[in-house]
Structure 1
Amino acid sequence: MKDLVFLIFALVLVGIFVRLKINIAISIFLTAIITSLFKGLGFFAVLHLMLKTLMHVDTINMIFVIIIVTYLGELLKTSYLLSDITSDFKKILSPKAFLPLFSLVVGLLPMPGGALVSAPMVEEGASDVEIYPNEKALLNFWFRHVWEPISPLYPEFLLGVSILGTTIGKVISIQWPISLGMLLSGIVFIIPLIKSDTKPKDRISLFLALDIAKNLSTIILIFVMLLIFKKLPSFIAMLFGLLYLVILRKVPLHTLKVSFKYKKVFEYAFLIYSIFFLREIVTSTNFAQSVFIELQQLGAPEHLILFALPFSIGFLAGISSASIGIAYPLLMPLLKVHNVLVSSNVLIAYLGVWTALLFTPMHLCLSLSVDYFKTEFGKVYKLMIKPFLLLLIITLSWFLFLKFKP
């Protein structure tokens, strides 16, 4: 029971940290240290995990990505490319269309730190629109995550397919209501937060289409590189996009210097490190396996275990790949019976993954969105309740159909 009790304590602790408005990176780092102490890790063991996290290829890649994306976002503003992009879209679309569209398009690809790519576009596009910082943060975060449950472009999706030993089509046929629910709930509850009656001024023309393509070419280049060179480290594609932007806009040296925000880069780098450090502790101590065993010993209902284990791992790790990669193998006796996939159980397990991803402050996209728009987690969570409930209703309706279909 001790691991289960500590899990509840850790979740409450994170909530307290958020409530007290303690810096999220510090909160996650402290949670990692407390977890390591609970699991009985000595000083040198913790130091080893800290160094291992620092040297891990995922940590290094992600830190490089965030440094470059942060710099890219600033250059998009200081080179006035963002204002040109939003000006083009304002001519042919209303703010209620082009603001969510920015996040939807960026979310098509599993771009680490992608929230920082769409955030400046949302910020610039909303410059003359009545919308609060917490509303912009939610819009940027929510619409960016419409595609992941059904997109084979996401490594996390493919990881789930591989562990389940099934086909891409089968997993899409199970998880599609989550993507639909994200889109519909965003349309119903989030887009109305954009208070604007502005109408498009022009119709699309060849000249305008070419201008839009030129202004978006930096982001398009990054997309194309990530699609073609699937094994290419993300930060290299970002770096090429950065260099292309400098050449395209002929950015002067002074602008290059003032656009690099050292403090912001350091804060984001520490946030990434803290998230990966906590993930390392959770995985290296077999924490999830202990929780799974204790839930079984308590005689917890099957569906509670299916939801709770991926949720708890996802909430602490903040990464869906960690939640799927750790929880799914432990849950295989429930996900597959007599070597036949139980679709309804898979959906509940993924709902656990997804719920954690939406609400955990350890999720980098959420933390970056909250930080970028200078708002608070509590204010974003409050706005998230209604769209999440609609998402839940849609998903559980599909669960009931899968469970009781003839």
Structure 2
Amino acid sequence: MNIFLVILLAAIAIVTLLRYKLPIGVAILSGGLVMWLCLDRTLASLVESAVMTVEQSRTYDLLFSLYFVMCLEIELRRSGTLDGMVKALNRLFKSTRVTLATMPAFLGFLPSLGGARFSAPIVEAASAKMNLKPETKAAINFWFRHIFEVSSPTIPGMILACAIAGIHVSDLVLHLLWFSVAAFVIGWLVLLAPLKKHDHISSEPVSIEAKLQNIFDVVLAIAPVVVNLLLMIVFDISAAISMGIVTAAMIPILRLCGRRANLREILLGALDYKLLGNVCLILYFIGLLTTTGALEQIVAIMTSSAIPTPVVFAILSFIIGMLTGMSQGYISMVMPIAASISFGSIDYAGLAMVFGCAGQMITPVHLCFTISVDYFKANFFKTLKPVLLIEVPLIALFSIVTYFTWVG
């Protein structure tokens, strides 16, 4: 059977199960079993995939990284640090547009399924005096929350991608950080620049003591993310270890600052068995791609095509991103292909991240988009329009830069 037909059948199975709200790990593994039925059907490949998943060190690096990310999110949220930063920024910034852009962006560093629901009330409150259309608020909330989707070391998809592709997290972050900056700038020009005349300028006087407290709240919330980045980029520490260090250090720091940080609540609250189980199933699916020979066939066809391999790969990443609507979904399917074409290639990893994310950003399958539209009671297509106006020039810019800087 043609391998791309097999991929299509697997993708259809995954999307169908996701629409029935099955866990993403179960849906993706089901797609893997479809490929197994079409290509192999031997018990040996199932067992070999399980052994591969258990024996590889990346499995444990990934699980511990995700666990510590969830610990950090709980620390900031339950200690009131996150809420304090929100209030501080609302008082510190003279431009409401800055708050509208930065708060969803910062909350994007603390990933959770459907996380747009956390930033939506902030966007609603910050824009209360601006008389914005529901579609504008929904697009702002959705877009700025995801600008670091391809360059944040705290995003599960990024950690998973680097583990599969054999790339250090800090290398991929540095490779794609400019893209996030471009996403912010183009998003600002399309969504926020036209709102200047509606911007609310705060004239409420603030004491010196209040200003100092505002600065402290912001620093306390941002510091863990910044330190985590520095540990990985400057000191070349793995994601699991750096996140563990930051998470452990924040507990005494929060207590010294008079913030609530219950160790038991943090450690037990981060035990998200559903998420960690999904990751294990995704890694098993990746093993099936190898043992069934699916990866080998895909790479052989792509490398023998008259169309340049990077172009075919980018299109494939975009389509799977649209079909799955989740970073773990498209990464688990296309990143193993990138690793098979050129293991450790930062260029192929970047293509997978950016084009897969682009597909994810314009599909109704993406949970955050659905949540944003529903929360603000917005029209789906009117909300999608500005997102497309940002995404098209952004992808064009990335394609041009990649063409002239490609190493392979």
TM-score, normalising length: structure 2: 0.65
Q: Which runs of 5+ in 1 are unaligned?
A: 108-112, 336-345
- Per-residue deviation at 1:84? 1.5
Paired residues of 1:103 and 1:140 also in contact (CA < 8 A): yes
* Matched residue, 1:142: 146
Q: Distance in 1 between matches of 2:90 and 2:185?
A: 23
> Identity over the aligned pairs, expressed in percent?
14
Equivalent residues in 2 for 1:186-265, closer than 5 Å: 186-189=187-190, 191=192, 197-201=199-203, 207=209, 208-209=211-212, 211-217=214-220, 219-228=222-231, 229=235, 230-231=237-238, 232-251=241-260, 257=265, 261=269, 265=272
Q: Distance in 1 between matches of 2:68 and 2:291?
A: 30
Paired residues of 1:28 and 1:278 also in contact (CA < 8 A): yes
Match of 1:122 among 115, 119, 122: 119
- Per-residue deviation at 1:13? 3.3
Is 2:36 the counterpart of 1:36?
yes
Q: Distance in 2 between matches of 1:100 and 1:225?
A: 22
Is 2:82 the counterpart of 1:82?
yes
* Matched residue, 2:183: 182
- Per-residue deviation at 1:53? 2.9
Q: Distance in 1 between matches of 2:212 and 2:356?
A: 39
SS at match of 2:253: helix
* Matched residue, 1:110: none
Equivalent residues in 2 for 1:61-72, closer than 5 Å: 61-72=61-72
Counterpart residue type for residue 144 of structure 1: F
- The 1:217/1:184 distance shift into structure 2, 3 A limit, reads closer
Q: Which runs of 5+ in 2 are unaligned?
A: 128-133
Equivalent residues in 2 for 1:210-359, closer than 5 Å: 211-217=214-220, 219-228=222-231, 229=235, 230-231=237-238, 232-251=241-260, 257=265, 261=269, 265-296=272-303, 299-300=306-307, 304-308=311-315, 318=329, 326-327=337-338, 330=341, 350-359=350-359
Counterpart residue type for residue 199 of structure 1: I
- The 1:275/1:106 distance shift into structure 2, 3 A limit, reads same
- Per-residue deviation at 1:243? 5.0
Q: Distance in 2 between matches of 1:401 and 1:221?
A: 35
* Matched residue, 1:392: 395
Counterpart residue type for residue 392 of structure 1: I
- Per-residue deviation at 1:387? 2.5
Task: Give aligned pairs, total.
Answer: 367
Counterpart residue type for residue 239 of structure 1: A
Q: Distance in 2 between matches of 1:21 and 1:89?
A: 36
- Per-residue deviation at 1:85? 1.0
Q: Distance in 2 between matches of 1:58 and 1:161?
A: 9
- Per-residue deviation at 1:287? 2.6
Q: Distance in 1 between matches of 2:205 and 2:285?
A: 50
Paired residues of 2:28 and 2:282 also in contact (CA < 8 A): yes
Deviations 1:19-64 (A, max 9, x none): 4444433322322332333341534542453464356443434434
Q: Distance in 1 between matches of 2:374 and 2:30?
A: 22
Q: Distance in 2 between matches of 1:355 and 1:44?
A: 34
TM-score, normalising length: structure 1: 0.65
Q: Distance in 1 between matches of 2:249 and 2:227?
A: 11
Paired residues of 1:24 and 1:367 also in contact (CA < 8 A): no
- Per-residue deviation at 1:128? 1.7
Is 2:20 the counterpart of 1:25?
no
Q: Distance in 1 between matches of 2:54 and 2:164?
A: 24
Q: Distance in 2 between matches of 1:226 and 1:177?
A: 15
